[in-house]
């Protein structure tokens, strides 16, 4: 998938070649010299920053990029569906109804709809219908829906449901690719989101408790072994030469061979061990940069311009070993994708580190 880029990094072919050479060495020398390949940028985060929202969060990275997310829930009347009517009228069987009565807080699996979640992304300098905000909203919505649990939590009864509005605002121009930042901020906002406690029963018109202290969390904290008990988080990883680098800055993305966006969530509520929700490849801006010209092909430095197209093709094939910048071509090999995924989901891996850090922010 080729997403629009928030901005192009204006580096000369010589600078791109040097940057790539430093990232390809062992160990790689990153743009921020203090970071290791799997290190993330430091951030400042806070929750419940919008008093009128059901949930909210704000995260600022050390490079100045800052995001704010607000979650708002409204009650809507559900469209009639035979499956829901059957469950609500008892046609689904006494056993199912008894299970539902035993755990009123349990999510009704399979009853949610994708349309119950609406997400918008606003970026300074971009219109709402520009390619970048639309693409980022699509990626974030896809990961939330792929996790399978959120939309089922919005079910009230066969006649009503919650409509969840997730509004994402990038408070600063995108100094780096903002997908991971927006995902982490959305994660925190959803963890802190609460819904009024339901007082009515079965298919009655919804009646809620006015006491906000009695409100229940959208992601309940009391389910000890419930799967998918946290919203997913998107981790950005790039491959450059033999190395894999996480949380790349814009300059590092400018020389990437391939980029992966991996959405992951914890396997159980009692563990931070991660599982994969979705994986997407992203075309880095390095594919769009022009190639460098070696001195042997530059007439301004005494070189010889190719006389024929066949000769030019031969010389272009030699550029890979000439030391000048050559844009990477092709996608990511399966073995490399497998290696990145393993580094994300393994015990003590990148995803576990990110989920644990966000959980500490929520509890703090």
- In which band, very low, low, confident or very high, does the pLDDT at 285 lie, cut at 50, 70 and 90? confident
Residue 328, C-beta contacts closer than 8 angstroms, at least 6 positions apart: 256, 257, 258, 284, 286, 287
- pLDDT tens digits, residue range 21-44? 899 998 898 888 778 898 888 889
Point out the least confidently predicted range of 73-87, 122-136, 252-266.
73-87
- Whether 295 maps to a domain, the answer reads no
- pLDDT tens digits, residue range 336-353? 888 998 999 888 888 888
- Whether 8 maps to a domain, the answer reads no
Region 185-207: what's the mean pLDDT?
91
Q: Is 192 helix (H, G, I), strand (E, B) or coil?
A: helix
Lookup: tokens for 357 = 């850090």
| CATH (domain of 122) | 3.30.230.70
Residue 87, C-beta contacts closer than 8 angstroms, at least 6 positions apart: 96, 108, 111, 158
Does the pTM surpass 0.85? The reply is no
Which residues pair with residue 166 across a beta bridge?
71, 119
Q: Is the pLDDT of residue 82 over 60?
A: no
Region 228-246: what's the mean pLDDT?
87
Give the whole-angstrom CA distance, residue 364 versus residue 352: 18
The whole-number pLDDT of residue 269 equals 54
- Whether 305 maps to a domain, the answer reads no
Give the whole-angstrom CA distance, residue 41 versus residue 53: 28
Nearest to 153 by CA among 162, 145, 166, 141: 162
- Whether 168 maps to a domain, the answer reads yes
- Whether 294 maps to a domain, the answer reads no
- In which band, very low, low, confident or very high, does the pLDDT at 80 lie, cut at 50, 70 and 90? low
| Domains held by the chain: number | 1
- pLDDT tens digits, residue range 121-161? 999 988 988 988 999 999 999 999 887 678 888 999 989 99
Nearest to 74 by CA among 52, 46, 99: 52
Q: Mean pLDDT of all residues in the chain?
A: 80
Contact 246, 201 (CB under 8 A): no
- Whether 163 maps to a domain, the answer reads yes
Lookup: tokens for 253 = 């993305």
Q: Which residue did the predictor score with more confidence, 216 or 173?
A: 216
- Whether 299 maps to a domain, the answer reads no
CB-side exposure of 218: number of CA atoms within 13 Å? 26
Residue 313, C-beta contacts closer than 8 angstroms, at least 6 positions apart: none
- Whether 301 maps to a domain, the answer reads no
Q: Is the pLDDT of residue 270 over 80?
A: no
Q: What percent of the chain has pLDDT over 70?
A: 76
Region 267-293: what's the mean pLDDT?
76
Question: Domain containing 129: what range?
Answer: 13-289+325-363
Contact 206, 163 (CB under 8 A): no
- In which band, very low, low, confident or very high, does the pLDDT at 261 lie, cut at 50, 70 and 90? very high
- In which band, very low, low, confident or very high, does the pLDDT at 322 lie, cut at 50, 70 and 90? low
Lookup: tokens for 142 = 């896809």
The whole-number pLDDT of residue 54 equals 95
Q: What percent of the chain has pLDDT over 90?
A: 31
**Letter string b/e over residues 7-34, b meaning 16 or more CB atoms within 10 A of that residue's CB:** eebebebeebbebbeebeeeebebbeee
The whole-number pLDDT of residue 247 equals 92
Q: In Å, how far from its chain's centre is CA 302?
A: 49
Return the DSSP state at 35: -
């Amino acid at each position: 998938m080729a997403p629009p880029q928030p901005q192009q990094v204006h580096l000369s072919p010589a600078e791109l070649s040097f940057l790539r050479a430093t990232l390809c060495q062992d160990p790689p020398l990153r743009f921020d010299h203090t970071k290791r390949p799997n290190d993330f940028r430091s951030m400042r985060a806070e929750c419940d920053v919008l008093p009128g929202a059901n949930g909210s969060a704000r995260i600022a990275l050390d490079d100045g990029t800052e995001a704010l997310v607000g979650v708002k829930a409204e009650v809507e009347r559900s469209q009639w569906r035979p499956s829901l009517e059957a469950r609500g009228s008892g046609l689904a069987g006494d056993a199912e109804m008894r299970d539902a009565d035993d755990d009123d807080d349990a999510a009704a699996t399979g009853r949610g709809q994708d349309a119950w979640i609406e997400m918008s992304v606003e970026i300074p300098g971009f219109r709402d219908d520009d390619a970048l905000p639309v693409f980022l909203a699509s990626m974030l919505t896809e990961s939330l829906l792929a996790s399978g649990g959120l939309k089922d939590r919005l079910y009230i009864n066969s006649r009503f449901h919650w409509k969840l509005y997730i509004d994402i605002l990038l408070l600063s121009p995108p100094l780096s690719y903002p997908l991971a930042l927006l995902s982490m901020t959305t994660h925190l906002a959803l963890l802190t989101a609460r819904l009024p406690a339901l007082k009515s029963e079965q298919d009655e018109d919804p009646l809620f408790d006015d006491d906000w202290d009695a409100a229940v969390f959208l992601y309940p904290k009391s389910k000890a072994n419930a799967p998918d008990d946290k919203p997913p988080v998107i981790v950005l990883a790039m491959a450059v030469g033999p190395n894999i680098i996480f949380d790349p800055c814009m300059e590092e993305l400018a020389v990437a061979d391939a980029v992966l966006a991996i959405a992951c969530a914890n396997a159980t509520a009692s563990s931070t061990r991660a599982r994969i929700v979705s994986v997407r490849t992203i075309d880095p801006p390095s594919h769009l940069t022009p190639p460098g010209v070696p001195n042997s092909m530059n007439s301004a430095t005494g070189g010889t311009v190719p006389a024929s197209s066949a000769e030019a093709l031969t010389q272009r094939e030699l550029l890979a070993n000439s030391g000048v910048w050559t844009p990477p071509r092709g996608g990511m090999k399966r073995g490399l994708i497998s290696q990145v995924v393993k580094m994300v989901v393994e015990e003590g891996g990148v995803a576990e580190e990110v989920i644990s850090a966000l959980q500490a922010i929520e509890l703090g």
